Amino acid sequence: MTELEIQNKEIKKVLFIVGLPILVFAILYVYYQNNNLELVKKEYEKIRSEEYYGRVIKKLEDGDYPRANRYVILKNNRKVNVSNELYNKIAINDSVSKSKDCDSIYFYLIKGEIVIQDDNAFERDNYLNLLNKKREK
């Protein structure tokens, strides 16, 4: 066996010894974050307690591809995420409102249409699933 092969084998061994614990720790951390009822509830309540309203002054996209994030900027400089479908309906000067203790954002379009977007679906579903698992135990 050549010296280069021996060094290569040693490098792989060291990378495995260092990399495996980091990978295991990362997996355990993500699992803990996603399954800790208190942390999930805190995130859910944080989004739920937000309150804002205003007129749309600007529309932004992170890119020109279908899954790019789309935003509207309100007059008070608040950045609000919107779905791709809704982004195409919204115009400058439309109104946006989200009440405290509510999961929905209301978009009042100039055309007279009112569109409701569920802003907290993922966090709510995650929280309710964890709550149901805890109750089953």
pTM here is 0.73
pLDDT number for residue 67: 86
Residues 81, 27, single domain; the answer is: no
The beta-carbon contacts of 60-64 under 8 Å, at least 24 apart in sequence, are 61/87
pLDDT number for residue 94: 95
pLDDT, mean over the chain: 90
CA distance 98 to 108: 11
pLDDT number for residue 34: 78
Range of the domain at 29: 3-35
Sequence-distant (6+) residues with CB within 8 A of 97 are: 52, 53, 105, 106, 108
Confidence check: pLDDT of 32 > 90 = no
Residues 90, 53, single domain; the answer is: yes
Residues 21, 50, single domain; the answer is: no
Question: Quick one: pLDDT band at residue 33, thresholds 50, 70, 90?
Answer: confident
Structural contact between residues 52 and 60, judged by C-beta atoms closer than 8 angstroms: no
Comparison of pLDDT for 35 and 50, the residue scoring more: 50
Residue 79's nearest CA partner among 102, 99, 100, 52 is: 52
Residues 58, 85, single domain; the answer is: yes
pLDDT number for residue 50: 92
Residues 30, 91, single domain; the answer is: no
pLDDT number for residue 110: 92
48-94 pLDDT, tens per residue?
999 999 999 999 999 888 889 999 999 999 999 998 889 999 999 99
Residues 67, 101, single domain; the answer is: yes
Q: Is residue 132 part of a domain?
A: no
Average of per-residue pLDDT across 90-106 = 94
Q: What is the SS3 assignment for 115? A: strand
Structural contact between residues 104 and 118, judged by C-beta atoms closer than 8 angstroms: yes
CB contact burial 23-38 (16+ within 10 A = b; e otherwise): eeeeeeeeeeeeeeee
